[in-house]
Amino acid sequence: MSALLYLIPIALLMGGGALLAFFWSVKSGQYDDLDGAAERILLDDDLEDESEIN
């Protein structure tokens, strides 16, 4: 039972830290362009790179 006296505050601090990290990531723009990286992989930029080498 005495372990709960340590575990509950630690869990609350970790949850608060995760919440602060989430708010920081939203404020810094981490979630602004969710589709950009997914669509960028489909672009065919390799052809431009090969023409620069030749």
Q: How many CA atoms lie within 13 A of 42 on its CB side?
A: 5
Per-residue pLDDT of the chain (54 residues; tens, 9 = 90+): 899 999 999 999 999 999 999 999 999 988 888 888 778 888 776 666 555 565
* pTM, to two decimals: 0.60
Nearest CA to 31 out of 16, 45, 21 is that of 21
